[in-house]
Amino acid sequence: MAIKATIFKVKLQVADMDRAYYDDLSLTIAQHSSETDERTMIRLLAFALHASEGLKFTEGISAEDEPDIWRKSLSGEIEIWIDVGLPDEKRIRKACNRAKTVYIYAYGGRTVQTWWQPIAENLSRHKNLKVIILPPTATRSLGELAQRTMALQCTIQDGQIWIGDSINNVFVEPEILYGAV
């Protein structure tokens, strides 16, 4: 018998001063049984960074040919493809060929460089690819914010991110590994 997903209900206030985007969002996130709280919260962070009309969580880990998050045009074309973690080169190439813009939010400390080094040159022709590294201390702290019901505020300014609840606040300073963001 398959283990059911854990459901998170999130009230998320986004104040993205870099994009002049401000909104109060009500989100439902399904956490796959093999997914950690850290990864789930990174998906939420990635959603906040790209929050816009039509942006959606997908089946993620459960679906091989879908990203963690995407936005499609009215005609069904993939405008934004967002993956979290360290996807393999084949998956990234496929994403770059299918979507207008691909974002990879890589995390895991030193393993990120080990993952990126052998595939970087082969992916350099994809100008629609953006790879962003999230610092391990920040991603671990994000994981600690996870609760079944959350009310979070996310502020983005000058590429820096503050996300937290009424008690805890996590500072995230992403590093661009590849592509202009």
Q: What is the CATH number of the domain that holds 86?
A: 3.10.640.10
Question: What pLDDT, on a 0 to 100 scale, did the predictor assign at position 2?
Answer: 55
Beta strands in the chain (DSSP E): 6-16, 21-31, 55-57, 69-72, 78-84, 99-106, 129-133, 149-157, 160-164, 169-172, 175-178
Using alpha carbons, select from 77, 88, 82 the residue that is nearest to residue 49.
82
In-domain check, residue 124: yes
Domains in the chain, number: 1
pLDDT of residue 45: 98
State mean pLDDT over 34-58.
Answer: 96
pLDDT bin (cut points 50, 70, 90) of residue 1 is very low
pLDDT, tens digit, for every residue of 4-38? 889 999 999 999 999 999 999 999 999 988 899 99
pLDDT digits (tens, 9 = 90+) for 100-122: 999 999 999 999 999 999 999 99
pLDDT of residue 4: 81
pLDDT at 65: 81
Domain limits for position 88: 6-178
In a domain, 128, yes or no: yes
Q: Does residue 31 lie within any of the structural domains?
A: yes
Residue 93 lies in a domain: yes
Q: What percent of the chain has pLDDT over 70?
A: 96
Residue 52 has pLDDT above 70, yes or no: yes
- 3 state SS of 103: strand
Residue 132 within a domain: yes
pLDDT reported for residue 56? 96
In a domain, 69, yes or no: yes
Residue 135 lies in a domain: yes
- Check residue 60 and give its pLDDT: 65
- Answer whether residue 1 is part of any domain: no
DSSP 2: P
Residue linked to tokens 């998956």? 91
| Structure tokens belonging to residue 103 | 């974002």
The residue with tokens 């679906």 is 63
Q: Structure pTM?
A: 0.94
Report pLDDT digits (tens) over 62-97.
667 899 999 999 999 999 999 999 999 999 999 999
